[in-house]
Amino acid sequence: MILCAATVLGATLLALPLVQPQRDGTVPSPGQVARISGTVTIGIDDPQPVRRAIVSALGRSRGLSFDALTDEMGRFDLHGLPAGKYSVTVARPPHVGVAFGASRPGWPGTPIDLAPGEHVDGVQLRLVSGAVLTGTVRDEAGRPLPEVEVWVERRDATGTFARGSTAATDADGIYRAFGLPAGYYRVSARPNGSGMELHVSSDADNDAALRILESGGRQWPSGRVTSSTSEGAGRAGVVPVYHPAAVLPEDARPIILSAGEEASGVDVELRPRTSPLVSGQLVSSLPIPLTNAFLTLTRFGSSVGSASARTSGEGAFSFGRVPPGRYFVLGRVMRPERLSSLLSPGAVPTVTSWGPEPCGVVAYEIELGESDIPPLQLGVEPCFRVIASIENIGNLPESDAPLTVSLGVVAEAGGLGRSRVFTASLGSPEAPQIELAGGGELVPGKYYLDAVISAPHSREWVIDSASVDGRDILDDAQLFGRSAGDVLVKVTVSKRATLLSGVLETGDARPAPDYTIVAFPAERSYWQGTFRRVRITRPSTSGHFELTGLPAGEYFLAAVRDVAPDEWRDPAFLEEIAPMALKVSITVGSTNHQRIRITHGRQ
């Protein structure tokens, strides 16, 4: 038994004692099912029972899920559970649930250990009042706009905004987003016809046009079709607008919400904005028809396309009017084999199946200001395929469930191509090689391989390596494309999964379930990419924790309170906790058990 010192850091923002659920002392019999019961309340100073809440227990090992409803007194009873570890959560709109053992909504909780036939009673679950964001969307004349979609985005620990919820404005132009966890938000209104190039006509414009027509003329001196009288004036794009009236997301006024707060007056003024027209032409020396190529314009740092376009016969395209910013133009050029038969009004037929070679990809970065840019000339590069071959070292499992490997290709920088997850089953000789991506699914760039062994074999089997031309791409992104030929990835798996387990205790040898264990490599160069060597876990109610499948190497092991979701992906955070962590060594196939006692803390 090894007792090691570990230091705790981190601020506890909600100082709630973790009430240990009571065990009834029943001697468990093999094969008996277990129970979890308790209450759900809301409010800290004067907790009130909550009826009709849905309490869910998710089994950690087999993924089984069980629900129960609370009664008039807020009590719940989850019964019929097989033995194992369970994460317990609660949902009751419009409130926000806090997982059992978590200090705040959205953070991981403490799993409950259940022995066969055991009854764990006294589990207390909390709800926190959801916050509300409401406001009015108006046009430039101040008139409310109904039926406009509003996006509410919340910032996560890495600083990225993700869409939390959407709402639509009512007849009075008012939207309401509710049940929001506390946090940092931005709001945008998304009008119909985004990207459309719109000519905003004034009374004077139309007066002048009608005078020309009455006198027998039929066109403007400039030859333009619409009623704009001066070059560039009145030509605008229908673009999303951020509260209160910003075109660029970085200019949005943020809203900071506390639990249960209602922020009103979060208004958006929606008007067509002067924005550059993005159009151009594809050029290619490859024998590929340039018709019907599908292109997307994706804002740098976003995973969602801002606009899309299809090329016409000579490869010409237009994205319409787009807000200023930095973008990727991405797309693929292939020979369509079959087009959809059901069409929306004015829509171009969608391709439902593609022909084989030839195939081309388009990948460019552009920077847009407010002025129009000259038409783009974009060259088309040949497509490449990513083909994986999987080899196993060792005997395949005897159980009925085949050993499956999930492989995905992950771009190094956001927005530069898609990640496709492919699940391959070992032991099928008819598929010795698997095509992970092909036909222009990826654009040239740097990629990692994301590879995991699927349950139930993930405890014993592990991905040993994945390499391209002898270079590892599990930890080190590799450049794909920019040259003809396929990318061959060799993946090896073996039955040599590591196991790092242990018990976390307080200074007086009691279980310490309200901490988070963070395991991360001592080698700093691994603190990037897919972060596959960084793991976090919460000890269960008995203090036990387990981490399987960590690659061999030297690791830090730290016990920390209050780790926000994704905070462990921040190298600065890892650097801060490294000096206070335990060092462990993991070798291939090793089983490593640690008993860790927390000796002192630091805020």
Partner 1 sequence: MLRTPRLISLLRRVVFVAAVAATGVAGPHRIDAGQPTQPAVGAISGVVSDGVSGRPLLGAVVSLADGRVKVSVHATADSRGRFVFMGLPPSDGYSMSVRRPGYRASDLAVRPPYVLGAALRLRAGEWLRDLPVAMWPLGSITGTVLDEKGEPLVGVPVRVLAALAVAGTTRWAAGPGTRTDDRGTYRIGGLQEGAYVVGVPAVQLLVPASISPSAAAGLPEPALGSTASRPPASGGLTIDTPEGPAVLVIGRYPAPTVAEDGSLLILPPTFYPGVTAFPLATPIDLAEGEHRRSVDFRLQSVPARTVSGRVLGLGTSNRLVARLLPESALGLGAGSEQATGVIAPDGRFTFIGVPDGRYVIDVSAGQSELALGSPHLPGTAGMVGDRYLTFFPTGMGDAYYRTHYLATQNGLVGRQSVEVGASSVRDVTITMTPGAGLSGAVVGEGGQPVADPRVSVEPADADPSRGGQALSRQAGTFAVAGLHEGEYWLRVTATRLRVKSITYRGQDFSNRPFRVQLGDDLSGVQVVMTDEYATLKGVVSAADATTAQVASVVIFPAEPSGWTRFGLTPTRIKTAVVLAGQEYQFAGLPAGDYLVAAVDHSHQYAWQDPRFFPAIAQSAARVTLSWGGTVTQPLSVQTVRLK
Footprint of partner 1 on 186-245 (CB under 8 A): 191-193, 196-203, 205-206, 209-210, 212-213, 216-220, 223-227
Single out the residue of 111, 104, 249, 139 nearest to residue 543, CA to CA: 111
Give the nearest distance from C-beta 344 to partner 1 in angstroms: 4
- Whichever of 179 and 553 has its CB closer to partner 1, that residue is 179
Give the nearest distance from C-beta 589 to partner 1 in angstroms: 34
Size of the site for partner 1 (CB under 8 A): 72
Amino acid identity of residue 113, one-letter, is D
The dihedral built from the CA positions of residue 293, 332, 528 and 421, taken in this order, carries a sign that is positive
Q: How far apart are the first and last CA of the chain?
A: 29
- Whichever of 62 and 583 has its CB closer to partner 1, that residue is 62
Give the nearest distance from C-beta 459 to partner 1 in angstroms: 22
Q: Is residue 167 within the footprint of partner 1 (CB under 8 A)?
A: yes
Q: Is residue 70 within the footprint of partner 1 (CB under 8 A)?
A: yes
In this chain, which of 107, 178, 300, 354 binds partner 1, going by CB under 8 A?
178
- Whichever of 272 and 502 has its CB closer to partner 1, that residue is 272
In this chain, which of 132, 246, 403, 574 binds partner 1, going by CB under 8 A?
132
- Whichever of 193 and 565 has its CB closer to partner 1, that residue is 193
C-alpha separations of 193 from 252, 339, 345 in Å: 21, 24, 14
- Whichever of 50 and 493 has its CB closer to partner 1, that residue is 50
Rounded CA separation 280/318 (Å) = 6
Give the nearest distance from C-beta 54 to partner 1 in angstroms: 6
Rounded CA separation 189/192 (Å) = 10
In this chain, which of 139, 156, 372, 486 binds partner 1, going by CB under 8 A?
139
Give the nearest distance from C-beta 9 to partner 1 in angstroms: 33
Report the DSSP pairing between strands 499-505 and 591-602.
parallel
In this chain, which of 156, 170, 486, 576 binds partner 1, going by CB under 8 A?
170
- Whichever of 195 and 481 has its CB closer to partner 1, that residue is 195
Asked whether 382 and 360 are in contact (CB, 8 A), the reply is yes
Rounded CA separation 356/351 (Å) = 13
Asked whether 53 and 76 are in contact (CB, 8 A), the reply is yes
In this chain, which of 82, 179, 289, 324 binds partner 1, going by CB under 8 A?
179
Residues 250 to 289 in contact with partner 1, rule: CB under 8 A: 272
Q: Give the binding range for partner 1 (CB under 8 A) out of 21-29, 341-349, 446-454, 497-505.
A: 341-349
Kindly write down the DSSP assignment for every residue of 156-167, as one continuous string: -TTS-EEEEEEE
Q: Give the binding range for partner 1 (CB under 8 A) out of 57-65, 276-284, 299-307, 377-385.
A: 57-65
Give the nearest distance from C-beta 290 to partner 1 in angstroms: 18
Distance of CA 363 to the CA centre of its chain: 23
530 token code pair: 């897919």
- Whichever of 206 and 258 has its CB closer to partner 1, that residue is 206
Q: Is 177 exposed, middle or buried (0-12, 13-18, 19+ CB in 10 A)?
A: buried
At 285 the three-state DSSP class reads coil
How many helices and strands in the chain, by DSSP H and E? 2, 46
414 token code pair: 């956001």
Long-range contacts of 355-358 (CB under 8 A, 24+ apart): 358/286, 358/287, 358/288, 358/334, 358/382
In this chain, which of 8, 34, 68, 359 binds partner 1, going by CB under 8 A?
68
Beta bridge mates, 547: 500
Residues 106 to 125 in contact with partner 1, rule: CB under 8 A: none
Beta bridge mates, 382: 360
Cβ count within 10 A of residue 352: 11
Q: Is residue 56 within the footprint of partner 1 (CB under 8 A)?
A: yes
- Whichever of 210 and 248 has its CB closer to partner 1, that residue is 210
Rounded CA separation 130/181 (Å) = 6
Q: Is residue 341 within the footprint of partner 1 (CB under 8 A)?
A: yes
Amino acid identity of residue 6, one-letter, is A
Cβ count within 10 A of residue 523: 12
- Whichever of 200 and 452 has its CB closer to partner 1, that residue is 200
Give the nearest distance from C-beta 202 to partner 1 in angstroms: 6
Residues 523 to 542 in contact with partner 1, rule: CB under 8 A: none
- Whichever of 223 and 485 has its CB closer to partner 1, that residue is 223
Give the nearest distance from C-beta 59 to partner 1 in angstroms: 9
Q: Is residue 93 within the footprint of partner 1 (CB under 8 A)?
A: yes
Single out the residue of 541, 566, 544, 601 nearest to residue 120, CA to CA: 541
- Whichever of 174 and 499 has its CB closer to partner 1, that residue is 174
Single out the residue of 516, 518, 551, 548 nearest to residue 533, CA to CA: 551
Q: Is residue 344 within the footprint of partner 1 (CB under 8 A)?
A: yes
Letters for 379-398 (x = contact with partner 1 by CB under 8 A, - = none) are --------------------
Q: Is residue 147 within the footprint of partner 1 (CB under 8 A)?
A: yes
In this chain, which of 58, 522, 578, 598 binds partner 1, going by CB under 8 A?
58
Q: Is residue 166 within the footprint of partner 1 (CB under 8 A)?
A: yes
- Whichever of 183 and 415 has its CB closer to partner 1, that residue is 183
Give the nearest distance from C-beta 11 to partner 1 in angstroms: 29
Q: Is residue 130 within the footprint of partner 1 (CB under 8 A)?
A: yes
Q: Give the binding range for partner 1 (CB under 8 A) out of 140-148, 291-299, 508-516, 578-586.
A: 140-148
Rounded CA separation 102/98 (Å) = 6
Q: Is residue 350 within the footprint of partner 1 (CB under 8 A)?
A: no
Distance of CA 36 to the CA centre of its chain: 32
What are the strands, taking DSSP E only, across 495-571? Answer: 499-505, 516-521, 535-537, 544-548, 553-560
Asked whether 512 and 542 are in contact (CB, 8 A), the reply is no
Residues 15 to 54 in contact with partner 1, rule: CB under 8 A: 51-52, 54
Secondary structure of 39-66 in the HEC alphabet?
EEEECCCCCEECCCCEEEEEECCCCCEE
- Whichever of 4 and 316 has its CB closer to partner 1, that residue is 316
Q: Is residue 65 within the footprint of partner 1 (CB under 8 A)?
A: yes
Single out the residue of 529, 499, 488, 530 nearest to residue 390, CA to CA: 488
Q: Is residue 552 within the footprint of partner 1 (CB under 8 A)?
A: no
